[in-house]
Chain A
Amino acid sequence: MRKVAVVGAGMTKFARRALETPKELSYQASKAALDSAGMKLKDIDCVAHGSAPDAFDGIHQKGEYLADGCGGWNKPTMRVFVGGATGVHAIAHGWYHVASGLADTCLVVCEEKMSSAMPHAQAFFLTIFDAITERALGLNLIWIFALEMKRYMERYGYTKEDMALSAMKNKNQGLKHPASQFYGGNELTVEDILNSEVMASPVSRLDVSPVSDGAAAIVLASERTARRLTDKPVWIEGVGWCLDTAYWATRDLYYPRYTEIAARKAYKMAGIREPHKEINIAEPYDPFGYKQLHHMEGLLLSPKGKTVELLRDGHFDMDGNLPMCPSGGLLGVGNPIAAAGTLKLCELFWQLRGEAGERQVPGNPRLGVAQAWGDLMQVSSVVVMGINNA
């Protein structure tokens, strides 16, 4: 396998109802990523595209529709989609193109425009459940996550306040991200979150990331091309992904086993033996406050059942031992499903190059991990990125 570098990153604002069409959003993110790398579209050999269900944008086979916005004109273009995990999955998919030697450069673009789904994007989630055994009950995603969150809290004795603390951390960090819909807004307190309306206990409204429109992109290059383009390439050290099944009846809900399997694959490729000691920055997927803690355990970055203790001790703060979600994540920036995972890769790129501005993690971080999760609580994709290890 050849070494693969990230040489550019870009994203749109994650907005509640963007004026731009899905194509235009994809174009803006792609163009920003190319500009940051000092590249033109003609320098791109192929496109790895990610977008979650067609239903959100309301265009069937939207991969084909989005192709020109993603820079796919007359190029080999492939789309992957694994629900919320798409944004990180697409990078693993793009990595293959370059690592295999098939291409020297690959533009990875993820997009989601959820606001065109009427009356609400959640309506399309109603049909992800098994038609025969689950749908009859009128299940929706919030209810299912409530079951998972409850199980997680019960297993370790975590409280609603613990979970609110986790959500608050990202909401407030997101205020510093220029692409956030909350940029420059006011900080929230734990009480604000605890006092927000209960939707399905224990999930309150502010425990949940906001439905958004947006796109994010990164540019991948082979080692030789990367060194020609930049003196600060960020290397993809490892990728891993794993799917459990949509028949979730046979697993407990308190631990994301599939995340651990994906993480172990990525760490092995990266030569990481003790992730909790070696990783400097973590961007776990955080559609809900509890999810990022759940994922930190699955990523082997926090011992099972000790995560709240570490959170309260400041271990995951920007100046802590292992800063968690310096981007502000889905809770703090917004959640346009596929693009939300790529936001995390963009963040690692900026953080590892020391270009994260107000959000910059101190101490020259060298190794970061990003993870996204999706489908019916069953998929995780993990990417490890690092700098200066040529």
Chain B
Amino acid sequence: MGILERITKNVDNKYWYPENDTFPVKNRYTAGVAGQKFFQELKDNGKIYGTTCAACKLTFVPAKLFCEQCFAELDDWVDVGTTGILWSWTIAYKNKDDSKKETPTLLAAIRLADGLLVHWLGECSPEDVEIGMPVTAVFKDPGEREGSLLDIGHFKPVIS
């Protein structure tokens, strides 16, 4: 079940198994008021939205419901485009069990408006990566998107 869907009746949760009296602990998160729109736009239109605080002159990406600095409620939605600046990056060599990854993961922090998105970097080799270079989001096909950050498959360098 995607984060954009809601369950209103507890019995529909299917996390309680009376037949063997177990109650496995899980969390099912909601996208949030701002997240609902942010991920809907990602899913339906392949767009990345931020919310702007006019008083603090900040555009938050990912979008936030409120400005953390002045507490204004934010409803000024801005399409920030799908290209950002590479702010920092790493090559992760290890799996969680400490074994070596077959293909190392390129992970990036990408500046979009005044925010940062963390995402994978693809279609490039480590030698080509430089802090400050423009990178653009590569979306999954519309049919494969489900309202998640992974509707973006990865970011790739903008070839100039």
Q: B90 to A133, Cβ gap below 8 A?
A: no
**Contact flags B40-70 to A (C-beta < 8 A → 1, else 0):** 0000000000000000001011101000100
Q: B68 to A198, Cβ gap below 8 A?
A: no
Q: A249 to B88, Cβ gap below 8 A?
A: no
Q: Which of A248-278 contact B (CB under 8 A)?
A: 248-250, 252-253
Query: Number of A-B pairs whose CB atoms are under 8 Å?
Result: 96
Minimum CB–CB distance from B27 to chain A (whole Å) comes to 7
Q: B90 to A147, Cβ gap below 8 A?
A: yes
Set of chain B residues within 8 Å of A249, measured between Cβ atoms: 60-62, 114-117
**Contact flags A37-57 to B (C-beta < 8 A → 1, else 0):** 000000000000000000000
Set of chain A residues within 8 Å of B60, measured between Cβ atoms: 247, 249-250
Contact residue among A137, A151, A200 (Cβ-Cβ distance under 8 Å from B119):
A137
* Interface presence of A148 (CB below 8 A): yes
Given the complex of chains A and B, what is the CA–CA distance between A247 and B109 in angstroms? 13
Contact residue among A136, A197, A245, A252 (Cβ-Cβ distance under 8 Å from B149):
A136
Given the complex of chains A and B, what is the CA–CA distance between A250 and B117 in angstroms? 10
Given the complex of chains A and B, what is the CA–CA distance between A73 and B88 in angstroms? 49
Minimum CB–CB distance from B47 to chain A (whole Å) comes to 16
Set of chain B residues within 8 Å of A198, measured between Cβ atoms: 91, 93
Q: B92 to A132, Cβ gap below 8 A?
A: no
Main secondary structure of the interface of A (DSSP, over half): mixed
Set of chain A residues within 8 Å of B115, measured between Cβ atoms: 249-250
Set of chain A residues within 8 Å of B109, measured between Cβ atoms: 147, 151, 253
- Using CB atoms, name the residue of chain A closest to B92: A200
Given the complex of chains A and B, what is the CA–CA distance between A136 and B87 in angstroms? 20
Minimum CB–CB distance from A79 to chain B (whole Å) comes to 22
* Interface presence of A344 (CB below 8 A): no
Contact residue among B32, B68, B118, B150 (Cβ-Cβ distance under 8 Å from A139):
B118
Q: B88 to A200, Cβ gap below 8 A?
A: no
* Interface presence of A124 (CB below 8 A): no
Given the complex of chains A and B, what is the CA–CA distance between A140 and B93 in angstroms? 12
* Interface presence of B6 (CB below 8 A): no
**Contact flags B60-95 to A (C-beta < 8 A → 1, else 0):** 111010001000000000000000000111111110
**Contact flags A332-353 to B (C-beta < 8 A → 1, else 0):** 0000000000000000000000
* Interface presence of A61 (CB below 8 A): no
Set of chain A residues within 8 Å of B120, measured between Cβ atoms: 137
- Using CB atoms, name the residue of chain A closest to B31: A132
Minimum CB–CB distance from A211 to chain B (whole Å) comes to 12
* Interface presence of A146 (CB below 8 A): yes
* Interface presence of A122 (CB below 8 A): yes
Minimum CB–CB distance from B3 to chain A (whole Å) comes to 6
Give the contact-size bracket for chain A. 20 to 34
Minimum CB–CB distance from A135 to chain B (whole Å) comes to 9
* Interface presence of B124 (CB below 8 A): no
Q: A143 to B64, Cβ gap below 8 A?
A: no
Set of chain A residues within 8 Å of B150, measured between Cβ atoms: 136-137
Given the complex of chains A and B, what is the CA–CA distance between A119 and B64 in angstroms? 35
Set of chain A residues within 8 Å of B90, measured between Cβ atoms: 143, 146-147, 150, 200-203
- Using CB atoms, name the residue of chain B closest to A198: B93
Given the complex of chains A and B, what is the CA–CA distance between A146 and B88 in angstroms? 9
* Interface presence of A154 (CB below 8 A): yes
Using A147-B107, A151-B109, A250-B68 as known contacts, list a sample of 9 further A-B pairs with CB atoms less than 8 Å apart, ordered by residue number in A.
A142-B92, A146-B92, A200-B92, A200-B94, A203-B90, A248-B116, A249-B60, A249-B117, A253-B109
What residues of chain B have their CB less than 8 Å away from a CB belonging to chain A? 3, 27, 29, 31-32, 35, 39, 58, 60-62, 64, 68, 87-94, 96-97, 107-109, 114-120, 131, 148-150
23 chain-A/chain-B pairs, Cβ below 8 angstroms: A131-B27, A132-B32, A133-B117, A136-B150, A137-B118, A137-B150, A142-B92, A143-B90, A147-B89, A147-B90, A147-B108, A147-B109, A148-B88, A151-B87, A200-B94, A203-B90, A245-B68, A247-B60, A247-B68, A248-B116, A250-B68, A250-B114, A252-B87
What residues of chain A have their CB less than 8 Å away from a CB belonging to chain B? 119-120, 122-123, 131-134, 136-137, 139-140, 142-143, 146-148, 150-151, 154, 197-203, 245, 247-250, 252-253
